[in-house]
């Protein structure tokens, strides 16, 4: 392909990636080391009571933001280095909690509470998504051609639903006197409050994530099953291999590149878990790193937002994703070198 033709095809994609990925990422990185705050001034303000003969006036010192000629608040940016990261990590409180050996004290620190849930949510749902996705793919692949289309359609329904809407639906089914809560109370003959403790909320959030993402994995694996060498399957059947042996020794090794691909996509997506926290209204019990970043960006009573802390939280989230992806990337690189 000629360089000019190649540039015409690749150029727009590179431009879009620079505009919507690279430049915003650099901005977040820069903001994590700088704090932008309004500039305040202390002025003497006189206030008088109503009346003429008995009027009394008092003066007091008040702090107010400085306004420019256009009436906008004047702000200044100060380079603080790693101080913002220290504020987010709260290392002093973490050290005290570790010294005392109190797990509850660690969970009272927002970042470490969010990190614990995010890592557990990611690592627990990953094998379940891969396992259920492979099971659904095998079910579709073994279904007759007459019902294969409807089976694919039904299997994809959870993935088609908007994440927030799906989370709200599960919330309504289990919260209070929801249909499923009422059924469980009738079946167990006892009252249930599934949203009154953190562990049940976390369990429901994980169940929802697996229910929502497994169809995506299933479609990927189903496409991979169409390329399995049928001669190898038939030879294994003739040699007396069981279904489990054929799955473990032939199908799974053949699908391993797709399994790694699905695992990478799921790791990057689940580590940024946010919809479930909002949909289940779980921030009182469970928070994630992505929700923590969002919380920093919410304006306070004065209308200020902690952009520096939000940027630091976002960068720490990206570092966590990169660390989790290292084993999968190493496996992909090793497989690539082995096939050359």
Mean pLDDT over 97-122 rounds to: 89
What is the per-residue pLDDT for 122?
94
3-class DSSP state for residue 51? Answer: coil
Percent of the chain exceeding pLDDT 70 equals 96
For the chain, how many residues are written?
340
What is the per-residue pLDDT for 242?
84
Q: How far apart are CA 205 and CA 125, in angstroms?
A: 10
Between strands 57-65 and 75-79, the pairing is: unpaired
Which has the higher per-residue pLDDT, 175 or 295? 295
Tell me the CATH number at 242.
1.10.3720.10
Mean pLDDT over 121-144 rounds to: 91
Whether residues 70 and 125 fall in one domain:
no
What is the per-residue pLDDT for 265?
92
Mean pLDDT score across all residues of the chain: 85
Give tens-digit pLDDT for 192-241. 777 778 888 889 899 999 999 999 999 999 999 988 888 888 888 888 88
Q: Is residue 204 part of a domain?
A: yes
Where b means 16+ CB within 10 Å and e means fewer, 258-273 reads bbbbbbbebbebbbbb
Give tens-digit pLDDT for 63-92. 777 777 776 777 778 888 889 999 899 888
Which has the closest alpha carbon to 268: 252, 287, 293, 290?
290
Q: Are 78 and 37 in contact (CB under 8 A)?
A: yes
Whether residues 67 and 113 fall in one domain:
no
Percent of the chain exceeding pLDDT 90 equals 25
Q: List Cβ neighbours of 228 (8 Å cut-off, separation of 6 or more).
A: 250, 251, 254
What is the per-residue pLDDT for 20?
85
Whether residues 224 and 265 fall in one domain:
yes
Give tens-digit pLDDT for 162-174. 788 888 888 888 8
Q: Is residue 264 part of a domain?
A: yes
Whether residues 118 and 71 fall in one domain:
no
Q: Over 90: is that where the pLDDT of 262 sits?
A: yes
Give tens-digit pLDDT for 90-108. 888 888 888 888 888 888 8
Q: How far apart are CA 295 and CA 289, in angstroms?
A: 10
Q: How far apart are CA 310 and CA 297, in angstroms?
A: 6
What is the per-residue pLDDT for 53?
64
What is the per-residue pLDDT for 259?
93
* Residue 182: Cβ-neighbour burial (10 angstroms; 0-12, 13-18, 19+): middle
What is the per-residue pLDDT for 196?
77
Q: Over 70: is that where the pLDDT of 52 sits?
A: no
Which has the higher per-residue pLDDT, 339 or 286? 286
Whether residues 74 and 114 fall in one domain:
no
Q: Are 238 and 231 in contact (CB under 8 A)?
A: no
What is the per-residue pLDDT for 340?
56
User: What is the residue range of 278's domain?
Assistant: 108-339
Q: How far apart are CA 250 and CA 222, in angstroms?
A: 15
Q: List Cβ neighbours of 222 (8 Å cut-off, separation of 6 or more).
A: 136, 137, 140, 141, 152
Q: Is residue 8 part of a domain?
A: no
Mean pLDDT over 174-192 rounds to: 80
Q: Is residue 23 part of a domain?
A: no
Q: How far apart are CA 129 and CA 219, in angstroms?
A: 12
What is the per-residue pLDDT for 258?
92
Give tens-digit pLDDT for 284-315. 888 999 999 998 888 877 667 888 999 999 99
Whether residues 197 and 325 fall in one domain:
yes
């Amino acid at each position: 392909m000629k360089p000019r033709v190649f540039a015409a095809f690749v150029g727009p994609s590179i431009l879009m990636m620079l505009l919507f990925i690279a430049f915003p990422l650099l901005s977040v990185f820069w903001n994590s080391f700088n704090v932008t705050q309004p500039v305040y001034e202390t002025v003497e303000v006189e206030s008088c009571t109503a009346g003429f003969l008995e009027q009394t006036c008092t003066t007091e010192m008040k702090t107010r933001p400085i306004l420019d000629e256009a009436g906008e608040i004047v702000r200044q940016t100060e380079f603080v280095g790693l101080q913002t990261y220290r504020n987010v990590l709260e290392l002093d409180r973490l050290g005290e909690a570790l010294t005392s050996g109190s797990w509850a004290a660690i969970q009272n620190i927002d970042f470490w509470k969010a990190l614990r849930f995010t890592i557990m949510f990611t690592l627990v749902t990953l094998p379940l998504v891969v396992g259920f996705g492979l099971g659904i793919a095998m079910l579709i692949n073994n279904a007759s051609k007459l019902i294969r289309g409807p089976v694919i359609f039904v299997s994809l329904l959870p993935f088609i639903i908007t994440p927030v809407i799906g989370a709200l639906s599960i919330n309504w089914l289990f919260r209070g006197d929801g249909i499923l809560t009422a059924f469980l109370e009738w079946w167990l003959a006892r009252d249930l409050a599934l949203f009154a403790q953190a562990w049940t909320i976390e369990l429901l959030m994980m169940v929802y994530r697996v229910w929502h993402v497994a169809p995506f994995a299933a479609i990927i694996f189903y496409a991979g099953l169409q390329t399995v060498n049928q001669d190898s399957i038939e030879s294994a059947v003739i040699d007396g291999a069981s279904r489990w042996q054929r799955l473990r020794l032939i199908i799974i090794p053949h699908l391993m590149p797709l399994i790694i691909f699905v695992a990478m996509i799921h790791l990057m997506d689940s580590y940024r878990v946010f919809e479930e926290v909002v949909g289940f209204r779980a921030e009182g019990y469970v928070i994630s790193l992505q929700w923590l970043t969002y919380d920093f960006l919410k304006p306070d009573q004065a209308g200020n937002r902690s952009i520096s802390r939000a940027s630091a939280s976002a960068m720490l989230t990206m570092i966590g994703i990169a660390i989790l992806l290292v084993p999968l990337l190493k496996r992909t690189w090793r497989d690539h070198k082995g096939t050359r």
